[in-house]
Structure formats: structure tokens, C-alpha cells
Amino acid sequence: MKPALAKGTRDFSPTEMERRNYIFNTIKSVFAAYGYREIQTPAFENLQTLTGKYGDEGDRLIFKLLNSGDYLAKTPQALLDEKASLKLIPHISEKALRYDLTVPFARYVVMHQHEITLPFKRFQIQPVWRADRPQKGRYREFYQCDADVVGSESLLNEAEFTLIYHEALSKLGLKDYTIKLNNRKILTGIAEVLGKPELIVDMTVAIDKLDKIGLDGVNRELLDRGFSTVDLEKLQPIILLQGTTLEKIAQLKTILQASETGLKGVDELETVLGYIEKLTGDTSLLDRFVALDITLARGLNYYTGCIFEVKTNEVSMGSIGGGGRYDDLTGMFGLNGLSGVGISFGADRIYDVLEELALFPESTGQSTRVLISNFDKLAELYALPLLQKLRRAGIATELYPAAAKLKKQLAYADAKNIPYVILIGESEMQEGVFSLKDMATGTQQQLREPALLAALTT
């Protein structure tokens, strides 16, 4: 058979792994600086843990694992006759690959509530799987880098997440990106002011598409979803909110006067912005990278407060990060009254962006520093003690594993970007020296062992 990758998956070769680890390590270091500690959870969970958390569309995209054994034996015949795929799922599948890191984290918190101290700040970098149609920047297996805190209602967390986004993305070399902020309570308030709180989901889904389908498109969709032309008139100034963040906030306060929830949302937003300004010492971060975007809704239905989304403005790519506050995520698992807030970096999309912008540092990984040539068995034996001495000195060294033409060995060093080659031939062995070749300059010098070690450790 012809080998092929499963749709939407990728291999990661050595250079790619070095670059991916560079991204992970950069993000990790920022998470750590803000007090987040790492955990991991299993690749698959009980299907019941995951279903119902991401909406109907999300449930459809969860990769389900078929039960082992004779999984059809105990399924009701009626469902089989009906070919009712959806109803059959709980009978033939009890496990599923995790769809994100937030829900497994919520499960983790509930199960470990007696051993963690609140507020609990954790980060988690692991792959997630979605049975989506792949396209640019969209994979079926991809890594999320999540940081969440549970057990703290302080809006300082939201402010810090904004700084975390900024620090990590700046460290990675990105110059122009927007951290969009919104608050679910503001959206709720808008729906309340219109007198149609029950249509909040329809409203957010529609106005979320403003930059894609334009105002007319949004209006058409709103009408389809049950809003009247009177509602549209009231909505227009809200959707088209203009001006600086401060001006937008002032306008929202007027518009949302009649909605207690809406005003609470605005107040929260102001508090977060205030914290950011205090943390950074000025408004430059706010002015350059943070934007209040009232059309930002995000699909996940568990968000209740602040909502984040990060977009790069340098290349065309979907969001490279997102997150928000969820007041009662652990409630689904029986632990009520625990508020959480978190963010996620889309590492694979960030990789694609850095690649497109050629922002990866030239050397993202530690590869072999020294190759010892191998001319014949005698030279090979002669080289072995040196090989281990160099390794013990912390110099990544390898011995070419077979006697081969020097041309081939040097080509190997060249292909692997090994900066030094040690040549051991008859004359070197007789004189008790080693020839050290610098691959970049092509120069060569004969050194005794102490000098050789000294030359390589500088």
C-alpha cells in the first residue's frame, strides 16, 4: 500500500520540531513568569465528559473512539435498522479524543479539588483533535497552549492575560497584531435593550460576521434570525460603534443604560483596561495592540464575561489565540460557584505565521557540534575515548559510524550543519594530534587533546 498521512495531520521533521519547541518554550516561559504551572491530561476522555460542552457543531466535530470488541452486540436492533447514526453513538462509543484543553481542565479541577489550592493557575500544552474539514491554518490535530486560572474573580487575571499575549507574541517577533476584547455581558445587555434577550445567540452569531459579510449581510441575517426592522435601527449604531476605546465605552454606557447586566459588562471592561494601564505604566500597549470589538462573540457558549481573540495583521490567518471568562464551567461536573478565566495560543497557526514572515531565528536548536571522521577500524578505535570525553565536556559529538570516503563524511557534516569536524588519520595518530576543521571557514589546525577541548569549549 501507498503510505499517506491521515487527512489534516502532519509529520514534524527535526527542523520543524526545533522551531515548534522554540514556540512552546517561549510561551511556557511567559506562562511561568505569571505563576502558571504545567499539567497534562489524557489524549482521550469519556465521551460524556466532552459532549454537550461545545454546542451541536462542536459535538459533531469530536473524534469518537469506537468501543473495543463486539461493539454491535448490545446495541438496540431498532437503532441499527433505522441506521440512526447519531442515536447509535452512545451505544458504540464511550471515549473520544479531547476537543480542547479547557473542558478536560474543568474535569481535572473537579476531580482534584481537594489537592489544589485556589486560585489555581495552570498551563497546558498538548494536542487536540477536531473532525473538521482541513484548510489553511486548520488542522485536525493541532496544539493548544492554554493558561487558565480558576477560583479567582479578579479582573486582574484578564489584564494579565492581555500582557501574556503581548509578551509572548512580541518575543516570537510578531510586530502587528490585535488583542480584541469584548464582554459577554455587553452582548447580553444589547439583546436586553432590544427586548429580545432570548435571541442573544442569534444576534452574536450574526454581528460576529460584520467584517466578513458587511453591514447589509449582517442585517439580512438578523432579519432571518427573528429580529425586526425596528430592532435593526436600534442595533446599527451599536454595531458600527466608532472612535477610540474610551469613546466606544462612553457610547455603550448611554446605549446600555436600561440594562444592568450590560452596564456591568462595560464596568468590567473599564476595570481590565485600567489594570493594563497600571501594569504597563502607560497606554502604549492599549493604544497599539488592544481593541474593544463589540462584534466579537466567539462560539463557545460557556463564556460569561470577558472575551479575548488575537489576530495577526501581518498575514492572512484565522485567529491565533482566544479565550474568556466562564463563571461556572465546573458546574457541569457538579462543582458550583467556581469562576475561571483562560486563554489559548494556537501554536500551529503561530508557526505558519512565523514561517510566512521568516521570523524564526537562524538557529532554533542545539544540533551536533562536532563530527569525528572515520577512515578505518584503527582510527575508529582511536577516536572512541575522545568521543566520550567531548560528550562529557558537554559538546554534542558524533563519530561517523562507518569508514567512508571523507567527501561523504564532510557532506554529512555539511547537510547536518555541524560546525566542526575532527580528522583522525594515520599521521595524526602517529603524532598524537587531532586535525580540527572549521566547516564555515574551511581552515584546519592540528591540536593536542587539551588544546582541542579548549578550542571547542570556547
Residues binding RNA (CB under 7 A): 4, 6-8, 55, 57-58, 61, 100, 130, 132-140, 142, 144, 205, 209, 212-213, 298-300, 309-310, 316, 318-322, 344, 346, 348-349, 375, 405-408, 410-411, 413-415, 423, 425-428, 435, 437, 439-442, 444
Strand 44-46: give its sheet, edge to edge.
Answer: 44-46, 93-97, 64-66
Q: Which is nearer to RNA, 100 or 192 (CB)?
A: 100
The three-point CA angle 215-221-222 to 5° equals 85
Q: Which is nearer to RNA, 167 or 270 (CB)?
A: 167
Q: Which is nearer to RNA, 26 or 259 (CB)?
A: 26
Question: Distance between CA 184 and CA 350 in Å, rounded?
Answer: 26
Q: Which is nearer to RNA, 256 or 341 (CB)?
A: 341
Q: How far is the CB of 294 from RNA (least distance, A)?
A: 16
Q: Which is nearer to RNA, 1 or 78 (CB)?
A: 1
> 37-38 and 120-129: which strand pairing?
parallel
Question: Distance between CA 106 and CA 50 in Å, rounded?
Answer: 11
Q: How far is the CB of 84 from RNA (least distance, A)?
A: 15
Q: How far is the CB of 43 from RNA (least distance, A)?
A: 16
Q: Which is nearer to RNA, 259 or 295 (CB)?
A: 295
Q: How far is the CB of 217 from RNA (least distance, A)?
A: 9
- Nearest one of 203, 167, 140, 131 to 343, comparing CA atoms: 167
Q: Which is nearer to RNA, 57 or 282 (CB)?
A: 57
Q: Which is nearer to RNA, 74 or 408 (CB)?
A: 408
Q: Which residues pair with 399 in a beta bridge?
A: 372
Judged on CB neighbours under 10 Å (0-12, 13-18, 19+), 198 is exposed
Question: Distance between CA 432 and CA 447 in Å, rounded?
Answer: 9
Q: How far is the CB of 277 from RNA (least distance, A)?
A: 25
Q: Which is nearer to RNA, 73 or 86 (CB)?
A: 86
Q: Which is nearer to RNA, 190 or 266 (CB)?
A: 190
